[in-house]
Structure 1
């Protein structure tokens, strides 16, 4: 058996995607990160069945990420007690599938999805999210 000319390859793990998300978050403008206090970012392989049904997804690969919670525009002046934290879910396998079929780097894909989901938390328009993405590059 001959060795591969590019060396051993393996798919990025949950921890690898989490590290990319952490780096992407750290590269965002400080004023944008400040709006994310208390926001939890989770990386899992796939959305659960309940999420897929709720979002009307045809396949477990249809969602790259998801924001759950009450975004800043929907919150009152005082947070309610007992409320679950706002969360962003990044889905590793759909992210990898999307990345493999595209021309972007994996870190660019993770950054794009993370900014988009944080944008839902903050209540930004698509144009605002695109501007923040450009600043993060």
Structure 2
């Protein structure tokens, strides 16, 4: 936490960090993210947790919903928009537990979810995180 800060960072702070991370991405990535919705929520809903086999909502910091770019076709028109969900309370819990900066943690989660949008491997996501760092 910042010195003198007595309240946990709100959704607006998490969103600002996420958008700053996206702004640092190479143009080849950034231009394909314009239609992706960024949504900050307290926790994943029960249906999502059940679908993923997760019992503790603090275990899920982020989620990408949608189809990876390479899987899209004209047959998918009219579907829900691609979304990156960031779960504030789970992020804050991990922040306190790990001691990494909030900026680094949010950037890590955002880039991981962006990686799913592009269908990237974990190694590719790590390289993308290095570029945005």
Question: TM-score w.r.t. structure 1 length?
Answer: 0.90
Shift of 1:18: 0.7
Q: Partners in 1 of 2:132 and 2:82 — Cα distance?
A: 22
Match of 1:122 in 2: 118
Question: TM-score w.r.t. structure 2 length?
Answer: 0.93
**Aligned partner of residue 118 in structure 1, secondary structure:** helix
**Aligned partner of residue 98 in structure 2, secondary structure:** coil
Q: Alignment RMSD, CA only?
A: 1.3
**Which of 84, 91, 98 is the equivalent residue of 1:88?**
84
Structure 2: give runs of 5+ residues left out of the alignment.
Answer: none
* Change in CA separation of 1:8 and 1:32 when aligned onto 2, cut-off 3 Å: closer
| Higher-helix-fraction structure | 2
Residue 29 (1) aligns with residue 26 (2): yes
Residue 19 (1) aligns with residue 23 (2): no
Shift of 1:80: 3.2
**Aligned partner of residue 96 in structure 1, secondary structure:** helix
**Aligned partner of residue 61 in structure 1, secondary structure:** helix
* Change in CA separation of 1:14 and 1:73 when aligned onto 2, cut-off 3 Å: same
Deviates more, 1:119-128 or 1:33-42: 33-42
Higher-Rg structure is 1
Residue 70 (1) aligns with residue 67 (2): yes
**Aligned partner of residue 101 in structure 1, secondary structure:** helix
Match of 2:48 in 1: 51
**Aligned partner of residue 110 in structure 2, secondary structure:** helix
| Dislocated runs of 4+, deviation >4 Å | none
Match of 1:100 in 2: 96
Aligned residues: 131
